[in-house]
A and B are shown apart, each in its own frame.
Chain A
Amino acid sequence: MGTEPLEVVKVREKFGAALKEVVYFRGEETLVLEPSGIRPICAFLKSDPEMSFNLLLDIAGIHFLEREYSYEVIYHLLSLARKRRLRLRVRLGEEGEIDSVVPVWRTADWHEREAFDLVGIRFKGHPDLRRILMPEDFVGHPLRKDFPLEQ
C-alpha cells in the first residue's frame, strides 16, 4: 500500500489510540479498534461528510478458545456516496460485552440480537436484546467453539 486510505487517516487523527491496527488483505481494509471506541467511531464514520458510511451491512460475532481474547465482533460498513466498503474489528475478553450501535444504525438491532443469540456477545444499551433465531428456552449459544455438537 502506498498512501493510507482517508478513513484510516481520519480515524487515527480523531481517535488516536482507539485505532490499534489496520489490516489489508485482498484489497479490503480492516480497522482493528478498542472496544470502548466502537460507538463514537461508528457515529463519526456515519456522520462525517468525508466518510459517510451510512449503511451498516452486517455484524458478525466470532468466538475463540484459548486465546488472549474470547470474541471478535466484525462490522461491515458501506458508503453509498463513495462506493466504499470498510470492515471494523473489535476484540473482547471473556466478559463479551460491548456498546450497542443501534443508536447509530437502526439495522444493527437484529444483527446484534443474532450475535447475542448464536455467539453470546452482550450489547450494552440494546433496546431489546433477546434471542432471534433459536427458541427462547434454548440453552447455550450454538456458534461458540465449545458448544457440544453431540447431544
Chain B
Amino acid sequence: MSHPEEKIAPDPVTGETVTINMGPSHPSTHGVLRLVVELDGEVVRKVVPHVGYLHRGMEKIAESMTYHQFIPYTDRLDYLAPLSNNVAFVLAVEKLIGLEVPPRCRAIRVICCEIARISAHLLWLGTGALDLGAATVFFHTFRERETLYNLIEMITGTRLTTSYPRVGGLARDLPDGLIPQLAEFIKTFPQKVDEYETLLTRNRIWLKRTQNIGKISAADAVDFGLTGPNLRACGVEYDVRKAFPYSGYEQYDFEIPLGGVGDAYDRYLVRIEEMRQSVRILRQAVASLPAGPVNADDPKVVLPPKKKVVTSMEELIHQFIIVTEGFPAPTGEVYHAVEAPKGELGFYVKSEGSKSPYRLKIRSPSFVSLQAVPLMAEGGMVSDLIAVVASLDPVMGEVDR
C-alpha cells in the first residue's frame, strides 16, 4: 500500500516512466473516460483525465426546445438514476415559472428519487466490487436492482428512459398494485444490504483494496467542489435534502451518514448506509402518501388528462398548443439543485421570456468529482487507480452532457 506523499525512486532498470492510455473504452472507467497515465513500474506518477467522448450538446439542444420537450434528454444524463434527473429539471422549471405542485405529487417524486438513489448505489456497488475482482457482489446487487427496475417499469412504463415527472406534476398517477410491491421491497431490502455487508465490510481483500486508497482531506474535497457521498465520506455534513429541502423532504425523518478519513472504504460505507436511509424515507413516504391530484391546476402548463383529450375539442386544442408551442417562462434566472445519487445535481435556467431557455447549464456532480482523480491517484498503484475512479462513482452521461 502506498501513499501520495511517498517519494518514488526512478525505475532501477531504465530510469524511465511509461505513458499508457486507459480508456476511453475500458470496462472499469464506467463509460467513456480516458485516463492518460504516466507509470513508473506499477506506480502512477501522473494521471490526466480526458472527458467529452459522450458529449451530445444537450445544453445547446435545450435552447431550441420547449421546457416539456427537454425532459427526455434529462434521462440521458445520469442514466443510472434518470428519475432523479427528471425531478431536478422539472423543479428548476417550476421554480422559474413559480408553480406549486400538489402534496401527492411531491411525495411520489420523493419515492422516485429514493428508488433512483438505491438503484444507482446498487449498480455502483456491484460494478465497483467487480472492478476490484469481487464478482459475487455484482450478482447479488443486480438481483435487487431488477426488482427496482420492475417497480420503475410499473410507474413509468419504461425501465431506463423514464421521463415520468412533468412540469407541474407527473405523467400519470401511481398504478394500482404498486404500493404493495414497493412495501414488499421495503420490508425485504434491509436484509439484502446486510448480505452485501457480510460479503465486503470485513472482507480482508476488500479492506486492503479500499482503506487508505484515494484519500482526500475535507479541505481538499471542498476546494475541488465535491458533493454527495464523496464529500460526506470526508466527514463534511452537506446534503441538499437537509440544507435546502425540496419536494417536502423536510417532513421525513432520516440521517446523513458521514465518513471519517475520506478514502474509498469510507465512500463505500457512506453509500451502503445511504441505501438504508433511503429505505427509511420510502417507508415514511408510502405510509403517509396523501390522496388527491398529482398535477397542478394550471391549464397553460399542465397537459389535460388523456381521457378528456380524446373526447373534448377544447382539451385537444389545449394539448396541441402545449405540445407544439410550449409555455413561455418569465424573464429571469434560477438555479435549483437536488441531492442526486452522485451529489448535487443543479440546473441553472436563464429565461428571456420565450418558450425555451436562453441558456441551460447543468451542474453535474460527476464532472466535478473527476477533477480530483489526479490528486487521489498520483503516487498510488495503477490497480488502485481503478479503485479511485470506481469509488468516486462517475457516470459519463452526466460528465459530458
Q: Which residues of A contact B (CB under 8 A)?
A: 25-26, 28, 30, 54-58, 60, 62, 74, 76, 80, 83, 85, 87, 105-107, 109-110, 118, 131-135, 142-143, 147
Contact B223 A106 (CB under 8 A): yes
- Compute how far the CA of A28 lies from the CA of B335 in the bound complex, rounded to whole angstroms: 8
The 7 closest A-B pairs by CB, nearest first: A107-B225, A60-B361, A133-B52, A58-B363, A25-B332, A133-B55, A62-B359
- Contact A54-B222, Cβ < 8 Å, known A76-B346, A133-B52: yes
Q: Chain A's nearest CB lies how many Å from the CB of B249?
A: 14
Q: Does B358 sit at the interface, judged by CB under 8 A?
A: yes
Q: Chain A's nearest CB lies how many Å from the CB of B368?
A: 6
Q: Chain B's nearest CB lies how many Å from the CB of A114?
A: 8
Q: Does B142 sit at the interface, judged by CB under 8 A?
A: no
When distances are taken between beta carbons in the complex, the residues of chain A under 8 Å from B243 are: 83
A57, A62, A83, A118: the one contacting B363 at CB < 8 Å is A57
When distances are taken between beta carbons in the complex, the residues of chain A under 8 Å from B222 are: 54-55, 80
Name the residue in B236, B344, B348, B359 with the highest tally of chain A Cβ atoms < 10 Å from its Cβ: B359
Contact A110 B363 (CB under 8 A): no
When distances are taken between beta carbons in the complex, the residues of chain B under 8 Å from A135 are: 52
When distances are taken between beta carbons in the complex, the residues of chain A under 8 Å from B52 are: 131-135
Contact-residue size bin, chain B (C-beta under 8 Å from the other chain): 35 or more
| 14 examples of A-B residue contacts, CB within 8 angstroms | A25-B332, A26-B98, A55-B227, A58-B363, A74-B348, A76-B363, A80-B236, A87-B333, A87-B335, A118-B59, A132-B51, A132-B52, A133-B401, A142-B60
When distances are taken between beta carbons in the complex, the residues of chain B under 8 Å from A56 are: 225
When distances are taken between beta carbons in the complex, the residues of chain A under 8 Å from B363 are: 57-58, 76
When distances are taken between beta carbons in the complex, the residues of chain A under 8 Å from B368 are: 107, 110
Q: Does B139 sit at the interface, judged by CB under 8 A?
A: no
Q: Does B175 sit at the interface, judged by CB under 8 A?
A: no
Q: Chain A's nearest CB lies how many Å from the CB of B263?
A: 20
Q: Which of chain B's residues has its CB closest to A114's CB?
A: B367
When distances are taken between beta carbons in the complex, the residues of chain B under 8 Å from A60 are: 348, 359, 361
Q: Chain B's nearest CB lies how many Å from the CB of A92?
A: 15
Contact A106 B55 (CB under 8 A): no
- Compute how far the CA of A87 lies from the CA of B350 in the bound complex, rounded to whole angstroms: 13
Q: Does B270 sit at the interface, judged by CB under 8 A?
A: no
When distances are taken between beta carbons in the complex, the residues of chain A under 8 Å from B254 are: none
- Compute how far the CA of A58 lies from the CA of B359 in the bound complex, rounded to whole angstroms: 14
Q: Which secondary structure dominates where chain B touches chain A?
A: mixed
Q: Chain A's nearest CB lies how many Å from the CB of B216?
A: 12
Contact B60 A143 (CB under 8 A): yes
- Compute how far the CA of A48 lies from the CA of B334 in the bound complex, rounded to whole angstroms: 26
Q: Which of chain A's residues has its CB closest to B371's CB?
A: A110
Contact A57 B344 (CB under 8 A): yes
Interface flags for B197-235 (1: CB within 8 Å of A; 0: not) read 000000000000000000000000011110100000000
- Contact A25-B400, Cβ < 8 Å, known A58-B361, A74-B361, A134-B55: no
- Compute how far the CA of A80 lies from the CA of B59 in the bound complex, rounded to whole angstroms: 28
Q: Does B95 sit at the interface, judged by CB under 8 A?
A: yes
Name the residue in A25, A87, A147 with the highest tally of chain B Cβ atoms < 10 Å from its Cβ: A25
- Compute how far the CA of A76 lies from the CA of B222 in the bound complex, rounded to whole angstroms: 14
- Contact A109-B371, Cβ < 8 Å, known A60-B348, A76-B346, A133-B51: yes
Contact B361 A142 (CB under 8 A): no
Contact A76 B59 (CB under 8 A): no
Name the residue in B223, B227, B236, B358 with the highest tally of chain A Cβ atoms < 10 Å from its Cβ: B223
Interface flags for B240-256 (1: CB within 8 Å of A; 0: not) read 00011000000000000
Q: Chain A's nearest CB lies how many Å from the CB of B112?
A: 23
Interface flags for B360-396 (1: CB within 8 Å of A; 0: not) read 0101000110110000000000000000000000000
When distances are taken between beta carbons in the complex, the residues of chain B under 8 Å from A83 are: 243-244
Contact A28 B334 (CB under 8 A): yes
Q: Does B238 sit at the interface, judged by CB under 8 A?
A: yes
- Compute how far the CA of A87 lies from the CA of B337 in the bound complex, rounded to whole angstroms: 14
B59, B224, B344, B346: the one contacting A107 at CB < 8 Å is B224
Q: Which of chain A's residues has its CB closest to B220's CB?
A: A106
B51, B224, B227, B344: the one contacting A106 at CB < 8 Å is B224
Q: Does B96 sit at the interface, judged by CB under 8 A?
A: yes
Q: Chain B's nearest CB lies how many Å from the CB of A49?
A: 15
- Compute how far the CA of A62 lies from the CA of B236 in the bound complex, rounded to whole angstroms: 32
Q: Which of chain B's residues has its CB closest to A56's CB?
A: B225
CB under 8 Å from chain A, chain B span 321-367: 332-335, 337, 344, 346, 348, 350, 358-359, 361, 363, 367
When distances are taken between beta carbons in the complex, the residues of chain B under 8 Å from A58 are: 335, 346, 348, 361, 363
Contact A85 B95 (CB under 8 A): no
Q: Which of chain A's residues has its CB closest to B54's CB?
A: A133
When distances are taken between beta carbons in the complex, the residues of chain B under 8 Å from A55 are: 222, 225, 227
- Compute how far the CA of A119 lies from the CA of B278 in the bound complex, rounded to whole angstroms: 39
Contact B346 A133 (CB under 8 A): no
B244, B332, B370, B371: the one contacting A85 at CB < 8 Å is B244
